[in-house]
Amino acid sequence: MKSYPQSAALFDRARAVIPGGVNSPVRAFKSVGGTPVFMKSGSGCYLTDVDGNTYIDYCGSWGPLISGHAHPEILKAVMASAQNGTSFGTPNPCEVEIASLITGLLPHAEMIRFVNSGTEAVMSAIRVARGFTGRTKIIKFDGCYHGHADSLLVNAGSGLATFGIASTPGVPESLARETLVLPLDDEDRFLDLMKSVGDQVAAVIIEPVPANNGLLLQRREFLQTLRDACTQSGALLIFDEVISGFRVALGGATGVYDIRPDLVTFGKIIGGGFPVGAYAGRRDIMSVIAPVGKVYQAGTLSGNPVAMAAGLTQLRLLTEPGFYDRLESLAARLGEGMASIIRNLNIEAVPIRMGSVLWTYFGAADRLRRATDIDHATMDRYRLFFHHCLENGVYIAPSGYEVMFVSSVHQSTDLDRTLTIMESAFKVAYGK
Ligand SMILES: *Cc1c(COP(=O)(O)O)cnc(C)c1O
């Protein structure tokens, strides 16, 4: 049995001075119970906590670490950059390099602006969409997460009400009403809404690969319907690729589905482990941003040279030949291994995978495309699964709604060891 005295002591101290002891709520282990583990170091696919326990990591800092922890080339670039000064508050050469690389790789990213988080990227893209169209309403989908900007912390209103209600105190209802929330995978509801208010809609925003509330893979036709209706009504289509960008393929979900959004948001992988976000899109739209245009958006540390050096090095690693093929075969080994355990144990569970993003639904379902397809009661099984994994040295997200990420530095031996541990974790979760 692992023990966690140092983590427990730190958590006690943390709770006295940081709300809930954490700087982001899901880290507090509330949905799985127990004491969050405080990590002290990461190397490759391994994490080591403050008590000296080690783990094979599939959280990957919630997605950014596609090349694992402390990748030597990223470290080298970061140290070299830091030695030259950590922030200038002026333009720097590295931001031009990374912007050129991305706009060269992604045809839909004609221009790009860097910010400091995914939340900031989405918040800014929404402002630009409103500024560009002169409209105020936003359509989002239940089951997608877009960071914690006010306009997007909104849930579906009850019954047939189309306007959103604030999902947290602190968001004014007057603002929440500007956000309309629909179910995923429902063309009819979407087209009906667009028919009535389409000319007031500034943007339709979606995670093209919804990966924050399980992994609710969408039909391409649904995404195409959004594209067509936006084009028709003059609303902008925003793909939030903060997770899927550079993850499901070099070209993100946009490349996989071959559907072109007007704006796209990035985060996570784009910073190589540093706090970076970005939004990008059509040149005419991006040209409304100050100082070219009138839509204000700024950042003291945006385009920070150290963060840009990390991001640039990360993206260069991704463009090396065979990167995604290798990642795919590693993820397939894990995904297929989990699927065969589930089959052999004959348990009610549904493994879902897109590239190196994996999620298991701990129940029975013949369709998992909408938030309402997920039965909350299945999370009891996840809790047992999670704790067995943790105790045995496999670190997965402390919430059953979160996905697993495979990195390019997980070795076959790590994956096989993981599968052995997961087999017993499934048995524990299902009382077998
Ligand atoms: C993580 C995430 C965000 C928010 O990014 P932060 O860097 O946490 O602010 C926004 N959208 C999606 C799709 C995300 O996965």
Q: Are 208 and 241 in contact (CB under 8 A)?
A: yes
Give the model's pLDDT for residue 164: 80
Question: Which amino acid is present at 296?
Answer: Y
Condensed to tens digits (0 to 9), the pLDDT of residues 37-91 reads: 999 999 999 999 999 999 999 999 999 999 999 999 999 999 999 999 999 999 9
Give the model's pLDDT for residue 161: 54
Catalytic residue flag (residue 240): yes
For ligand 1, atom 5: residue with the closest CA: 118
Hey, CA dihedral for 65, 66, 69, 71, is it positive or negative? negative
d(CA 22, CA 292): 39
Which of 46, 140, 142, 268 is catalytic? The answer is 268
d(CA 180, CA 197): 10
Checking if the pLDDT of 405 tops 90, the result is yes
Going from the Cα of 261 to the center of ligand 1, the distance in angstroms, rounded, reads: 18
- How many C-beta neighbours within 10 Å does residue 38 have? 18
Q: Point out the least confidently predicted range of 112-121, 168-177, 238-247, 371-380.
A: 168-177
Q: Three-state DSSP class for 424?
A: helix
Q: State percent of the chain over pLDDT 90.
A: 96
277-281/263-266 β-pairing: antiparallel
Give the model's pLDDT for residue 293: 98
Checking if the pLDDT of 311 tops 90, the result is yes
Ligand 1 atom at minimal distance to the Cα of residue 244: 13
Counting Cβ atoms within 10 Å, is residue 98 exposed (0-12), middle (13-18) or buried (19+)?
buried
Which of 240, 262, 373, 414 is catalytic? The answer is 240
Give the model's pLDDT for residue 158: 65
Condensed to tens digits (0 to 9), the pLDDT of residues 13-35 reads: 999 999 999 999 999 999 999 99
Give the model's pLDDT for residue 163: 75
d(CA 333, CA 191): 40
Checking if the pLDDT of 360 tops 70, the result is yes
Give the model's pLDDT for residue 165: 84
Give the model's pLDDT for residue 69: 98
Catalytic residue flag (residue 145): yes
Question: Which amino acid is present at 7?
Answer: S
For ligand 1, atom 14: residue with the closest CA: 242
Counting Cβ atoms within 10 Å, is residue 275 exposed (0-12), middle (13-18) or buried (19+)?
middle
Checking if the pLDDT of 370 tops 60, the result is yes
Band of the pLDDT at 411, cuts 50, 70, 90? very high
Checking if the pLDDT of 357 tops 70, the result is yes
Which of 46, 145, 257, 324 is catalytic? The answer is 145
Condensed to tens digits (0 to 9), the pLDDT of residues 191-240 reads: 999 999 999 999 999 999 999 999 999 999 999 999 999 999 999 999 99
Q: Are 39 and 47 in contact (CB under 8 A)?
A: yes
Checking if the pLDDT of 160 tops 70, the result is no
d(CA 393, CA 32): 16
d(CA 374, CA 358): 16
Around ligand 1, the residues with Cβ closer than 6 Å are: 117-119, 122, 145-147, 207, 212, 240, 242-243, 267, 277
Condensed to tens digits (0 to 9), the pLDDT of residues 267-309 reads: 999 999 999 999 999 999 999 999 999 999 999 999 999 999 9
Band of the pLDDT at 166, cuts 50, 70, 90? confident
Q: Taking the CA of residue 120 as centre, how many other CA atoms within 13 Å lie in the half-sphere pointing to its CB?
A: 18
Condensed to tens digits (0 to 9), the pLDDT of residues 317-326 reads: 999 999 999 9
Going from the Cα of 267 to the center of ligand 1, the distance in angstroms, rounded, reads: 7
User: Which tokens belong to 429?
Assistant: 């979760």
- Average model confidence (pLDDT) for the chain? 96
Question: Which amino acid is present at 278?
Answer: A
Q: Are 218 and 255 in contact (CB under 8 A)?
A: no
Radius of gyration of the chain (CA): 21
d(CA 283, CA 72): 36
Give the model's pLDDT for residue 139: 97
For range 385-393, the mean pLDDT:
98
Going from the Cα of 344 to the center of ligand 1, the distance in angstroms, rounded, reads: 36
For range 172-181, the mean pLDDT:
92
Counting Cβ atoms within 10 Å, is residue 2 exposed (0-12), middle (13-18) or buried (19+)?
middle
292 CB contacts (<8 Å, ≥6 apart)? none
Q: State percent of the chain over pLDDT 70.
A: 99
236-240/263-266 β-pairing: parallel
Going from the Cα of 342 to the center of ligand 1, the distance in angstroms, rounded, reads: 30
Band of the pLDDT at 155, cuts 50, 70, 90? confident
206: phi then psi, degrees, rounded to nearest 5: -150, 150
Q: Are 321 and 282 in contact (CB under 8 A)?
A: no
Checking if the pLDDT of 350 tops 80, the result is yes
DSSP 20-61: GG-SSGGGG-TTT-SPPPPEEEEEBTEEEETTS-EEEESSGG
399 CB contacts (<8 Å, ≥6 apart)? 26, 31, 32, 382
Give the model's pLDDT for residue 156: 77
Band of the pLDDT at 1, cuts 50, 70, 90? confident
Catalytic residue flag (residue 58): no
Counting Cβ atoms within 10 Å, is residue 333 exposed (0-12), middle (13-18) or buried (19+)?
middle
d(CA 80, CA 98): 17
* Percentage helix, strand, coil for the chain under 3-state DSSP, each rounded to 5: 45, 20, 40
Give the model's pLDDT for residue 265: 98
